[in-house]
Amino acid sequence: MKRAGLTLSLLLVVLGQSLATTPRAPRPGGESAANGMVATVNPIATRAGVEALKAGGNAVDAAIACALTLGVVDGHNSGIGGGCFLTIRLADGRIVTLDGRETAPAAAARDMFLRNGKADSKLSQDGALAVGIPGELATLAYASTNFGRLPLRQLLEAAARVAENGFAIDSHYASRVRATRTELAAFPDARAVFLRGLPAVPAKGDILRQPDLADSYRAIAAQGTDWFYRGRFATKTATWIRTHGGVVTAADFARYAVVPREPVHGTYRGFEIVSFPPPSSGGVHVIQILNLLERFDLKAMGDSSADFVHTVAEAMKLAFADRSKWLGDPDFTKVPRGLLSKDYAAELAKNIRPDRASAVTGAGTPPFADADFFRREQSRHTTHFSTSDAEGNWVACTASLNTSFGSKVVVPGTGILLNNHMDDFSAQPGVPNYFGLVGAEANAIAAGKRPLSSMSPTIVLKDGKPILSVGAAGGPTIISQTLLAILRTLDFGKSPREALAGARLHHQWKPDELHVEAAFGDAVIAELRKRGHTVVVEKSLGAAQAVGLAPDGGFLGSADPRGEGLADGL
């Protein structure tokens, strides 16, 4: 598969925060702490989360501190110009899933990215037309008001100080700037912040200051989120976008609303899985793949054996074929609940042969596909972080601008980088998006609609008590990474760090390629080829973060050993 001259293989390497070539040697367990844990891709963001806990905040405040700080120190991946999905397990046992996904502007049209009848990916990936209405800030504010303990303005001020004083970029940040240099140069404010603000060839340790972003955070602290959604930022953004060929209006910002949704629930070998519902495909397919895999004795196969990789990949293929047909924003399209049915998994699992890669020709038909839907009232570009506290609040949050530096548009004078999540729609049936994902009617563009996502912030419970908060970055590989972390925790008894360190695989049905990390070893890779898989070997695939319950009742946390992140606790 080719997309903008890049193969999926190359994309998987450049996506997410996973550019370090070899995972660090796994340390058993991960970081441990008794009273709370925070795991993010960046030590400065992790420390901001821990500071929030120390200041009397709970896991929700810690997550908000992480999100706001990641928008400063990891701003090419996520920020308030983008969106997020937030899964919270509250100490009283309630599960809350907040949909902060971007929406298409009111003037968006189904064929808006077609030129001469063909989808033009440049338009959906860079510049004014690529931008969806951002939902992260509204979601953080909603979570803060309803479930947090610290004032949002305190967390904004702490993140503003990091933006104002500057921070040393990590090697991944430096590589993202180098790789996106040409695209960033096309947008004057992005050029000023990221290209003039850093040396010509940026490297780890270079200092980046973002005074405009600090001012924006402080404006929100002083004036509330209305500054962003109904005030100066909305009008400035709309003006810039309209004068540069886009269709976003200030009214689109004023209309934006966080949607509290009903989580998707599944079970796997006696554990409860709670994850994010549509418009994410993540939760649905993590649970669907677990349903398929429950029918196989993975433990007997052995972690990372050829049998294990083959079986998991076959299950992924079946689920991603379903994704291409059935998944979209449930407020606009009918997403069948039957995708989560164990009986449906039993039927689909018959397609998995132990000795041979199967040819999956298309989506299956889940039970009651025409009658039972997710209902409206249910209610490595990207980043995932997890937090927990001693009271029993656990958070899994995945946030994103979509691809590196999103649309590359920095709204003049604000330091705020805007997403390019319009590219997560299906611009034309069967035409792959940036991630090589194909979609159809269910994910076609419509005014006010939310593009389909793979973000999978997931919490695993045993007897009603959380034991794991996990999720990942990296487009569709988010689903695979989250799944593998759960399998390694539940089937193989691994700690968070070991579960994240394990070798990864990914199959998304189209293209028909099985991506595996080299760490599986030559013998396993040769055996997979023998079974008919087109194997693409990656040095490193993805970036996941996890917090787990320690045997002593405390917490274990781990940032992805492939990256430069940190887990730390209280």
Q: Which residues in this chain contact ligand GLY in the complex, by CB under 6 A?
A: 382, 400, 402, 424, 453-455, 475
514-517 and 535-538: which strand pairing? parallel
Q: Which is nearer to ligand GLY, 71 or 548 (CB)?
A: 71
CA angle 313, 314, 315 (to 5 degrees): 90
Kindly state the tokens that stand for 129.
């037309």
Q: Which is nearer to ligand GLY, 23 or 282 (CB)?
A: 282
* 215-221: Cβ within 8 A, 24+ apart: 215/160, 215/414, 215/415, 216/80, 216/414, 216/415, 216/416, 217/68, 217/156, 217/157, 217/159, 217/160, 217/163, 218/156, 218/157, 218/160, 220/80, 220/137, 220/156, 221/152, 221/153, 221/156, 221/157, 221/160
Is-catalytic flag, 225? no
Closest distance of CB 453 from ligand GLY, Å = 3
Q: Which is nearer to ligand GLY, 216 or 454 (CB)?
A: 454
Smallest CA-to-CA distance from 80 within 67, 65, 98 is with 67
**Which residue's Cβ lies closest to ligand GLY?**
453
Q: Is 465 helix (H, G, I), strand (E, B) or coil?
A: strand
φ, ψ at 123 (rounded to 5°): -70, -35
Closest distance of CB 419 from ligand GLY, Å = 8
The three-state DSSP-derived secondary structure of 93-113 is CCEEEEEECCECCCCCCCCCC
Kindly state the tokens that stand for 304.
């990372």
DSSP 230-246: TSHHHHHHHHHHHHTT-
> Which residues, 6+ apart, have CB-to-CB distance to 177 below 8 Å?
76, 169, 184, 194, 195, 198, 202
Q: Which is nearer to ligand GLY, 393 or 402 (CB)?
A: 402
Closest distance of CB 82 from ligand GLY, Å = 9
Q: Which is nearer to ligand GLY, 40 or 402 (CB)?
A: 402
Catalytic-role residue among 225, 382, 414, 482: 382
Q: Which is nearer to ligand GLY, 124 or 225 (CB)?
A: 124
Q: Are 434 and 423 in contact (CB under 8 A)?
A: yes
Closest distance of CB 475 from ligand GLY, Å = 5
Using CA atoms, how far residue 151 sits from 60, 155, 396, 480, 508, in Å, is 12, 7, 20, 36, 42
Closest distance of CB 383 from ligand GLY, Å = 11
Closest distance of CB 532 from ligand GLY, Å = 28
Closest distance of CB 384 from ligand GLY, Å = 11
543-549 and 555-558: which strand pairing? antiparallel
Q: Which is nearer to ligand GLY, 382 or 469 (CB)?
A: 382
Active site residues: 382
